[in-house]
Each structure stands twice: as structure tokens, then as C-alpha cells.
Amino acid sequence: AQKITQTQPGMFVQEKEAVTLDCTYDTSDQSYGLFWYKQPSSGEMIFLIYQGSYDEQNATEGRYSLNFQKARKSANLVISASQLGDSAMYFCAMKRGGSQGNLIFGKGTKLSVKP
Amino acid sequence: DVKVTQSSRYLVKRTGEKVFLECVQDMDHENMFWYRQDPGLGLRLIYFSYDVKMKEKGDIPEGYSVSREKKERFSLILESASTNQTSMYLCASSLRIGGVNQPQHFGDGTRLSIL
């Protein structure tokens, strides 16, 4: 069965430091996609970054990078130079190849950035 | 820019009422989705649609129905609202082409309370 696991319910990080949010996944598909979303307290879900299962390079998007380790089935999000506005819930999600676009979500990690 | 609009940010209804949640996207996306989000459970898929008049059950369809009469609009219906349907409801859309790498774009969510 497809599953996404985020083992950190909450994390604290000092402003300007880097932080890694963990995500492991379980799938028997060869083709799949991994996504990270940010949800501020206002509620909207904001797409951050994507990694395809066949991508050889780790994805990067500004201060966000995805540490993809396929053999370990992990797709950790790294946020560099944390800002106060990064305080939010972060969700890891996986899309199965061949599906109509369904995403399976983890339960999320609440990140708090301290000044 | 990508835009998914949900008709209400906050909604209060009574047990037994028929409730309609509306979602409109302006991106000409084929796929549309309804999720509910509860603390500690992450996002769970209720229903999705990959074309006009097409619908598929997600993980928790019981007590809900959907309607997609036009490509841009996807409605979630609570046939007879119950208190256990108090939740945050999120609508999303995505392109169907491109396989696994198309992200879903979310609306701002509707916080629904059933009294």
C-alpha cells in the first residue's frame, strides 16, 4: 500500500539557520512523483517543490531543496536560511504513476522559526 | 496566475441540512479534487473528477457526493450534514497531461462547522 510518513510532528529552528524536514514513502511503483506543500495558519496549501522518481538530480527551488534518496525511500525537505515567514505546517505528498493525479499526504510537520 | 476559488472561508450549518461547497478554477485543468483535513490525520481524499460529469471515490466518500457539470466547477455536497463532518475542506485542481509531475493547486479552504 502507498504511504507517506512524516515522523516529526513539530520542529523548532532559529532564524537564519537551515532545517531538514523528514519524509519517507512506501510504494512498489517505478514511476512516481514527490511533492512538498506549505500550509500557513491562514489555511491555503502552497506548492513548494517536486521530485520525480527518475530524476537524477535533487530538486531545488530558491531556498528549498529536496534531498532525494531513492534506495532509502526518503525525500527530505531542506530549507536554508530560515525566515519567520517559514513558520507553517509542511506536508509531504506522493503521486502514483498512472493515476489520475491523486496525491497521498503525510500527516505534516509543524515548523516554528524562532527570532 | 493559478487560481482556485472556494466559495466560503467559513461556514456554519445545522445537523441534517444539505450543504453545498463550491470550487472554481480558472486554469482549464481537467482534474479536480476534494479533501478534508483534520488535526493529526493530514489530508484525506473524498472525491475527485478527471473530466466533466466524471467522478471517482477517494478514501472517505461516505456521506458526501459531488457534481461536475462544467470543467471549471466542482461541487461537494453533504447530503445530510452531521457533526462528524465538521472539518476543513480543501479543493484542488491539476492538469491531467504530463504524468506524475503536475502539482495540484489548492484553494484557500472552507472551515465548516456543523452544529
Residues B7-27 pLDDT 10s: 999 999 999 999 999 999 999
Cβ atoms of B104 and B93 within 8 Å: the answer is yes
Are B109 and A44 an interchain contact pair (Cβ–Cβ within 8 Å)? Answer: yes
Of residues B46 and A99, which shows the higher confidence score?
B46
Predicted pLDDT at B103: 86
Give the mean pLDDT of B33-40. 92
Predicted pLDDT at A30: 86
Cβ atoms of A100 and A87 within 8 Å: the answer is no
CA distance A35 to A76: 10
Residue A44 sits at the chain B interface (C-beta within 8 Å): yes
Predicted pLDDT at A99: 58
Are B42 and A35 an interchain contact pair (Cβ–Cβ within 8 Å)? Answer: no
User: Which residues share a beta bridge with B105?
Assistant: B93
Residue A31 sits at the chain B interface (C-beta within 8 Å): yes
Predicted pLDDT at B74: 97
- Kindly report which listed range (A4-18, A95-109, B40-54) carries the lowest average pLDDT score: A95-109
Q: Find, among B27, B19, B2, the residue nearest to B111 by Cα.
A: B19
SS3 A1: coil
Residues B74-97 pLDDT 10s: 999 999 999 999 999 999 998 876
Predicted pLDDT at B98: 59
Cβ atoms of A110 and A9 within 8 Å: the answer is yes
Please report, rounded to a whole number, the percentage of residues in chain A having pLDDT higher than 70: 95
CA–CA min distance B15, chain A (Å)? 25
Predicted pLDDT at A102: 79
CA distance A6 to A92: 7
Residue B94 sits at the chain A interface (C-beta within 8 Å): yes
Instruction: Output the CA–CA distances (angstroms, integers) from residue B104 to A18, B13, B107, B112, in the order listed.
Output: 27, 28, 10, 22
Please classify residue B63 by burial: count the beta carbons closer than 10 Å to its beta carbon, then call 0-12 exposed, 13-18 middle and 19+ buried.
Answer: middle
Average pLDDT across chain A, whole number: 92
Are A102 and B102 an interchain contact pair (Cβ–Cβ within 8 Å)? Answer: no
Residue A106 sits at the chain B interface (C-beta within 8 Å): yes
* Statement: residue A31 has pLDDT above 90: no
Q: With beta carbons under 8 A apart, name residues in chain B contacting A102.
A: 33, 45, 48, 58
Q: With beta carbons under 8 A apart, name residues in chain A contacting B48.
A: 100-102
Confidence of residue A29 (pLDDT cuts 50, 70, 90): confident
Q: DSSP letter for A12, please.
A: E
Give the mean pLDDT of B29-37. 93
Give the mean pLDDT of A81-87. 97
Give the mean pLDDT of B52-62. 92
